[in-house]
Every structure is written in C-alpha cells, then in structure tokens.
C-alpha cells in the first residue's frame, strides 16, 4: 500500500506535466495565453483531484498484486 503523501506527490508531478502540455495545446488552439492558461489550470485542478481519488481507490484493492 502507498502512503497518502506518496500518492499526492505522484499526482502533483503528473499534473505539472499535464499543465505544461495543456497550456501549450490551449495556446496553439486558441492563440491566447490567457485562455490557454485558464484551460490548463481548470484541467489540472480537475485532473489532480480525480487522480488522487483514483490512486487511493486502487490502493485498497488487492487484486493483481503479487506478494513474496
């Protein structure tokens, strides 16, 4: 089982990468730094929340784990 801290650090790092990617995509698609940045920030906030919940859910399931 992972600690909550490890799950949170993984989620934050993953979402920083996603934020950068979405900001670039948003800029390319809209031509606006403000709109692209807003799209990226909203996406990151939602994504971070969902990722943490998803990881915590799966940390409680033993299916597919190999012990020993």
Cβ distance 1 to 56 under 8 Å? no
In a domain, 64, yes or no: no
In a domain, 68, yes or no: no
In a domain, 66, yes or no: no
At 45-63, the pLDDT tens digits run: 998 899 889 988 988 988 8
In a domain, 65, yes or no: no
Please give the Cα distance from 40 to 20 (Å, whole number): 8
Q: Quickly tell me which residue has 């800029």 as its tokens.
A: 27
At 9-48, the pLDDT tens digits run: 888 898 899 889 989 999 999 999 999 999 999 988 998 8
In a domain, 30, yes or no: yes
The answer, yes or no, to whether residue 1 has pLDDT greater than 80, is no
Say what the pLDDT of residue 3 is.
83
**Residue 65, SS3?**
coil
Count up the domains in the chain and report the number: 1
More confident residue, 65 or 30: 30
Say what the pLDDT of residue 8 is.
84
Domain that holds residue 10: 4-59
């Amino acid at each position: 089982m992972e600690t909550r801290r490890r799950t949170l650090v993984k989620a934050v790092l993953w979402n920083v990468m996603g934020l950068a990617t979405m900001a670039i995509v948003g800029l390319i698609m809209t031509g606006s730094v403000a709109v692209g940045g807003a799209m990226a920030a909203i996406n990151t906030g939602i994504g971070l929340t969902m990722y943490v919940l998803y990881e915590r859910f799966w940390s409680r399931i033993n299916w597919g784990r190999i012990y020993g």
